[in-house]
Structure 1
Amino acid sequence: MKAFRRPRLAVLPAAAILLVLGGVWLFLPVRFLEIIDEQSGRRYGLFPAEEDARIRLSWIHSVERTPWVEQYRIRGTKLILTEVRVKSFGAGVDVEAPESKVEGGWVVMHGIHREFDALHFIYSRRAGHKLHLGNRDLDLRSRVPHHAPVEVRIRKRPRIAGIIE
């Protein structure tokens, strides 16, 4: 009997170490893209997000009725606007972009590098708002009610938050 108990006793410290390491891993903070209702705080989505990941927000401009696409990069918990693409140059278009060119029928503005803590917009099915993280469509249509005030932000939260979400 003693021969069998010794290996079991040797396994207990290893199992305890693995359990502690697993717990630490689960509670280490990682970066998430979070979509929330700006007024109620209700969460519409939580997605793992890597440093330097690309985020694209697109919609149809309410005045011009033309497509608008903004591209951001994640830096820490900030969103850095890097590019804006518009089909027409009118109301609301930033004229201060360092580089602008016409590319395939789009006015493309590069080199902006404007920093945001969060993106804010009123979600509209009519405007066709779309949000992509990398190549993944985050499907706002099935997550967010029409005319909801939306905030998109980057937060560091324990890894387990993304697992139980």
Structure 2
Amino acid sequence: MCFMKKMIIGTLTLATLLFVLWYLLPHQTYLTFSSQRTDEVFLQEPIEPGDEVEVSWVHSIEQTPWIETFRINEKNELVKTEARFKSYGAGAPEETDGTFMVEDGYMIITDLHEIFEAYRWFHSYNVDYTISINDATTIETTALPDQTLLEMKVEREVPFVPSFF
């Protein structure tokens, strides 16, 4: 076999080995907050399967609290599991496969299994957004830009990408 052919095979073998090792490295999963229009990332928080994310705000028309709960599943998907609201008006689901109940003045829909590629909203400081992970408020929503179309999604980030790929 000629020297050039051995060198090409050796280089391809090394590149393949490096790619496999890189692929097997642990990857961190993040809850990413970014612009819907530009994909500019404003904030990332580490997250893992089983974590629960709660998004709450004061409804702009009804002026009552609204709370939605999501769980990160084993496929790193954002899954809405529950919605709570005090008044049934604009934005409330008309039909659902979940279980409906009333408790402590809240209408609650549980047993939801709605998968979201991204959770999208118009972020405004006027509606008092709160976002928490596992019952600990970890997202400072004033760190997100006011009057902006935002999205929250689960993203898996790799530790590094070799420059030759």
Which stretch shifts more, 131-140 or 77-86? 131-140
TM-score (norm 2): 0.76
RMSD: 2.2
Which SS does the other structure have where 1:126 is aligned?
A: helix
Which SS does the other structure have where 2:93 is aligned?
A: coil
* Alpha-carbon distance in 1 for matches of 2:39, 2:118: 14
In structure 2, the gaps of 5 or more residues are 1-20, 161-165
Q: 1:56-95 alignment to 2 at 5 Å? A: 56-75=54-73, 76-95=75-94
Q: 1:6-45 alignment to 2 at 5 Å? A: 28-45=26-43
Give the superposition deviation at 1:149: 1.1
Q: Choose between structure 1 and 2: higher helix proportion.
A: 1
Q: Contact (CA 8 Å) 2:48, 2:76: kept in 1 or not?
A: no
TM-score (norm 1): 0.76
Give the superposition deviation at 1:159: 4.8
Give the superposition deviation at 1:103: 0.6
Which SS does the other structure have where 1:112 is aligned?
A: coil
* Alpha-carbon distance in 1 for matches of 2:84, 2:155: 27
Quote the residue 2:144 is aligned against: 144
Matched AA of 2:66: W
- Say whether 1:112 aligns with 2:89: no
Q: Contact (CA 8 Å) 1:77, 1:153: kept in 2 or not?
A: no
Q: Contact (CA 8 Å) 1:57, 1:130: kept in 2 or not?
A: yes
Matched AA of 2:157: R
Give the superposition deviation at 1:111: 1.0
Identity, in percent, stands at 24
* Alpha-carbon distance in 2 for matches of 1:156, 1:136: 22
User: After TM superposition, which residue ranges in structure 1, 4 or more long, deviate above 3 angstroms?
Assistant: none
Q: Contact (CA 8 Å) 1:77, 1:117: kept in 2 or not?
A: no
In structure 1, the gaps of 5 or more residues are 1-22, 161-165
